[in-house]
């Protein structure tokens, strides 16, 4: 076992940045984020896990971003910009950012946030600063391409790049030069947003680390079709001569979906990636290593074997193919430095996945919600855990614990009650925390919704649906002193402090 890949015996909370309280419609890198870090420290929590920080596209999913490298401008804190003299308080307070404290209105953000940020850009003198020039230089492998991509999207009415004029869609050199000149100011705006995003995030991460809190970030295995990554690097994806996907990602029919799932992400051309020694992946991992202390690779099993669906067919008619496996993990290890990796190995696994995890030393995941089916040797039950794993009550894709137990089958709830030594369903969540904290698993992570014992009204995402996902927010003062003290006691009692 590779010791430098294991996480310490500790506990943490999963709370997306978007779910933090703020007066401006969505969580940001402002005062509430710093207060949450303080609360984690007070609660004895060593990890803050966030969802992907990229800018979101249609459906508002952080797993469908315009770039694998760029950050979400929505997270730039407006109060910081006010303190810097780039905005007037009245300019941001008079905007309707949404009417519900615990729900994000993406419509209100789309209508107003970029307009407000543009005011800050126009007033900023950042181009005179040495640290701005250094930022542009340090990120030259993606930053200007991304900014041009976003400027062109705005120019073409925010349509996906496959619907742009052919010359710029195919990135003909003359067209790239033409739009760089024509959209120079808008390109500058998107570079400014990334400069502010990274400036604020790095300060927040440094503060968290000083408070003995490490950040767990999330890296989606696939990128969105409508992204700068695919537009700039078409040779690394399975695209036809018109740059349209030949095959796309998804998963086959299973217990959760009779039809399977067609995610629509373009598949990597793994042979082409291997020929360039996985250079794109190395850049991506190095970028993530600067942002996070630990990186969770989403859908890690796809590194070993992935599901491929013809672009014009249904998920039922897909097939499995072999991925790069150890070749990719070795490439990631070359550049990750001290940043650790978690493998999201959920789903139908095969022996080759377990073998790769053993070789790489990456911890896999266990989900409590999947454990109580009456099988006393289920790998997600605490008495079956290895030390090198991360235990979750549930993830952002699952029901909350309260919602899950409310809908459990009678025989399964009876087994859960007996297993956790609970006298009633009302005790279950409390007992689940005790049971997982005392387990041998190195790391335990619970969603904030489960700390608060919320029902499914606070669920973050229901896969294969759009419209109401990714909206839940923590209310101000909802994470109480009583809950903080309880978590702190658990960490001390079971050696996770």
* Of 344, 345, 369, 450, catalytic: 344
Nearest to 70 by CA among 132, 122, 146: 146
Distance CA 289, CA 279 (A): 15
Q: Which domains does the chain have, with CATH numbers?
A: 3-493 (3.20.20.80)
Q: Hey, is 462 helix, strand or coil?
A: coil
Contact 33, 79 (CB under 8 A): no
Distance CA 26, CA 42 (A): 24
Nearest to 228 by CA among 147, 123, 324: 147
* Of 212, 397, 412, 497, catalytic: 397
Q: What are phi and psi of 309, to 5 degrees?
A: -120, 130
Nearest to 160 by CA among 233, 224, 248: 224
* Of 229, 298, 345, 369, catalytic: 298
Q: How many CA atoms lie within 13 A of 184 on its CB side?
A: 4
- Cα 96 to Cα 91, 104, 112, 116, 307: the distances in Å are 11, 12, 8, 12, 43
Task: Look at residue 91 in the predicted model and tell me its pLDDT.
Answer: 97
How many other β-carbons are positioned within 10 Å of the β-carbon of residue 275? 12
Paired with 321 in beta bridges are 306
The model's pTM:
0.97
212 is catalytic: no
Task: Look at residue 3 in the predicted model and tell me its pLDDT.
Answer: 62
Sheet holding 443-447, edge to edge: 340-343, 294-297, 214-219, 47-49, 10-14, 443-447, 389-392, 364-367
Distance CA 118, CA 312 (A): 40
344 is catalytic: yes
Task: Look at residue 257 in the predicted model and tell me its pLDDT.
Answer: 77
Task: Look at residue 1 in the predicted model and tell me its pLDDT.
Answer: 44
For strands 247-251 and 305-310, give the pairing: antiparallel
478 is catalytic: no
Q: pLDDT tens per residue, the chain (497 residues)?
A: 456 889 999 999 999 999 999 999 999 999 999 999 999 999 999 999 999 999 998 889 999 999 999 999 999 999 999 999 999 999 999 999 999 999 999 999 999 999 999 999 999 999 999 999 999 999 999 999 999 999 999 999 999 999 999 999 999 999 999 999 999 999 999 999 999 999 999 999 999 999 999 999 999 999 999 999 999 999 999 999 999 999 999 989 877 678 888 999 999 999 999 999 999 999 999 999 999 999 999 999 999 999 999 999 999 999 999 999 999 999 999 999 999 999 999 987 899 999 999 999 999 999 999 999 989 999 999 999 999 999 999 999 999 999 999 989 999 999 999 999 999 989 999 999 999 999 999 999 999 999 999 999 999 999 888 889 999 999 999 999 999 999 999 999 999 99
């Amino acid at each position: 076992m590779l010791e430098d890949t294991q996480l310490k015996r500790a506990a943490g909370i999963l709370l997306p940045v978007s779910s933090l309280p703020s007066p401006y419609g969505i969580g940001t890198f402002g005062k509430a984020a710093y207060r949450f870090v303080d609360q984690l420290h007070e609660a004895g929590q060593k990890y803050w896990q966030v969802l992907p920080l990229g800018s979101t596209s249609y459906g508002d999913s952080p797993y469908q971003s315009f770039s694998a490298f760029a950050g979400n401008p929505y997270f730039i804190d407006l109060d910081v910009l006010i303190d810097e003299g780039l905005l007037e308080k009245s300019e941001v307070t008079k905007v309707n950012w949404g009417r519900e404290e615990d729900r994000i209105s993406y419509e209100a953000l789309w209508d107003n946030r970029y307009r407000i940020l543009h005011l800050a850009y126009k007033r900023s003198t950042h181009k005179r600063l040495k640290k701005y020039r250094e930022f542009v230089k340090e990120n030259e492998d993606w930053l200007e391409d991304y900014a041009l991509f976003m400027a062109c999207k705005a120019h073409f009415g925010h349509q996906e790049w496959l619907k742009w004029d052919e010359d710029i869609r195919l990135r003909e050199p003359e067209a790239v030069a033409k739009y760089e000149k024509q959209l120079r100011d808008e390109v500058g705006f998107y570079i400014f947003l990334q400069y502010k995003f990274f400036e604020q995030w790095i300060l927040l991460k440094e503060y968290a680390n000083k408070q003995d809190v490490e950040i767990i970030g999330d890296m989606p295995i696939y990128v969105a079709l409508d992204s700068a990554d695919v537009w700039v690097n078409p040779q690394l994806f399975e695209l036809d001569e018109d740059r349209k996907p030949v095959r796309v990602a998804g998963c086959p029919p299973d217990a959760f979906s009779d039809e399977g799932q067609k995610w629509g992400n373009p598949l990597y051309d793994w042979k082409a990636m291997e020929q360039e020694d996985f250079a794109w992946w190395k850049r991506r991992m190095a970028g993530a290593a600067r942002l996070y202390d630990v990186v969770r690779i989403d859908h890690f099993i796809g590194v070993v074997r992935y599901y491929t669906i013809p672009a014009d067919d249904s998920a039922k008619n897909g097939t499995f193919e072999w991925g790069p496996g150890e070749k990719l993990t070795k490439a990631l290890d070359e550049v990750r430095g001290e940043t650790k990796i978690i493998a999201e190995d959920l789903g139908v696994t095969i022996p080759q996945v377990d073998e790769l995890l053993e070789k790489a030393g990456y911890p896999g995941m266990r989900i409590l919600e999947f454990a109580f089916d009456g099988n006393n040797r289920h790998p997600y039950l605490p008495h079956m855990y290895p030390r090198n794993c991360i235990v979750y009550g549930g993830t952002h894709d699952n029901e909350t614990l309260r919602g899950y137990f409310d809908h459990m089958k009678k025989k399964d709830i009876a087994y859960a009650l007996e297993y956790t030594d609970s006298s009633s369903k009302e005790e279950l969540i409390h007992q689940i925390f005790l049971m997982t904290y005392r387990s041998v698993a190195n790391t335990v992570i619970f969603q904030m919704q489960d700390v608060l014992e919320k029902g499914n009204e606070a669920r973050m995402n229901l896969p294969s649906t759009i419209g109401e996902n990714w909206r839940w927010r923590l209310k101000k003062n909802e994470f109480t002193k009583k809950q903080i003290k309880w978590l702190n006691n658990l960490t001390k009692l079971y050696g996770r402090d």
